[in-house]
Structure 1
Amino acid sequence: MSPSQKPAPTLRPSTLADLETHVAHRVAMFRDMEMGSEEGLKRMAEAFRHQLRGWLVTGQCRGLIAEEAGRPVASVLMLMKDSVPTPVSPLSVRGYLFNVYTEPSHRRRGLAALLTEGALDLARDLGIEIMELHASLEAEGLYQRMGFAPTSEMRLVMGAGIKTPKQWKHRR
């Protein structure tokens, strides 16, 4: 292999030892989308760290890490979340993909698709029938090519002083 050729990143399941990587990727993801202030990102990181630690310990959340030369360069998380049975699926658990993040130096190399496919394979192994996610405007095309369809979900922000992020506007 020539020095200009780098080995392809490898995927592995994340563990509790990857907690800080997932927290850092979440902060970077929202920073890249220009969503929230630095103070808000810091508050979110502390709350998310505590929440994700519990989810990883109980197995309610599973993750994948893409590594290159032993260094995390991209990641995804999948939450098994309670849901209400519907005529579409009687199951009361759905998968929710979140925190799909690739470091800027590794973007446009297919890592988000690779991580998403890995998470979908895990979901299939667990018997999950419906997978949900909230896509950034930039990533919508990728997820639609992978078979995800926009839904009729709507959201009302009711908290005093909370501004509706631009990512939530103009979705149709």
Structure 2
Amino acid sequence: MFIRRATLNDVEGLIDIRKKQLIDEGITADQGIDDQLRQFFMDKIESDDLIQWLAEEQGEIVATSAIVFYQFPPTYTNVSGVKGYITNIYTKPTHRGKGFGTKMLDLAVNEAKERGVHKLWLGASALGRSVYLRYGFEETDEWLELNVPK
């Protein structure tokens, strides 16, 4: 297995993996999101706000993880205001249960540590929830969500 950081040359593969992840989580829609994903990956990779890793076997992507850094107003408990959002953790079905998810999560958490970012959050799918809880993530009541009508 070879693990490397994604580059702008990987954007089309990242789009494909992201859509597979969404489908595995039961999230589908009639409209395409390729253009929006392409723009997101290009902008965030170029700005270094997104760090995405790819685990490859024989040139095929078998697992991914990412962290997106967001700037929030500073607080007394987070004076930089920077928080990391863990996302795009995906392992191909043929490779699940072998520790890939935890290994890929380590990469994202270590990137946050290297940048001095100590506040991380994520949205856990049913597939990943047990991995994140074992790792030490805790469920909180900190966030409320609102879907604003279009």
With the length of structure 2 as denominator, give the TM-score of the two structures.
0.92
After TM superposition, what 4+ stretches of structure 1 lie above 3 angstroms from structure 2?
none
Which residue is 1:78 aligned to? 67
Identical-pair percentage: 26
CA contact (8 A) 1:73 1:102 kept: yes
Do structure 1's residue 95 and structure 2's residue 84 form an aligned pair?
yes
Cα separation, 2, equivalents of 1:159 and 1:26: 25
Give the match for residue 170 of structure 1.
none
Q: Which moved more, 1:85-94 or 1:12-21?
A: 85-94
SS of the aligned residue for 2:17 comes to helix
CA distance in 1, matches of 2:71, 2:86: 14
For this pair of structures, how many residues does the alignment match? 149
Q: Is 1:26 equivalent to 2:18 in the alignment?
A: yes
Aligned equivalents of 2:51, 2:148: Cα separation in 1: 31
Provide, for residues 122-147 of structure 1, a one-character-per-residue CA deviation record: whole Å limited to 9, x for no partner. 11111111111111022111101111
Q: Give the Cα separation in 2 of the matches to 1:79 and 1:95.
A: 6
Contact 1:22–1:99, Cα closer than 8 Å, also in 2: no
**Structure 1 runs not aligned, ≥5 long:** 1-8, 161-172
Task: Determine the C-alpha separation between the residues in 2 that align with 1:66 and 1:144.
Answer: 22
- Residue 36 (structure 1) shift: 2.6
In the alignment, does 2:145 pair up with 1:155?
yes
CA contact (8 A) 2:52 2:65 kept: yes
Q: Is the 8 A contact 1:64 1:77 kept in 2?
A: yes
Q: Cα RMSD over matched residues?
A: 1.4
Q: For 1:11 and 1:29, how far apart are their aligned partners in 2?
A: 19
**Looking at CA atoms only, which structure, 1 or 2, has the larger radius of gyration?**
1
* Counterpart-to-counterpart distance in 2, 1:124 and 1:84: 20
Partners of 2:72 and 2:136 in 1: CA distance: 21
TM-score (norm 1): 0.81
Alpha-carbon distance, 1:70 to partner: 2.4
Instruction: After TM superposition, give the deviation of residue 87 of structure 1 in Å.
Output: 3.0
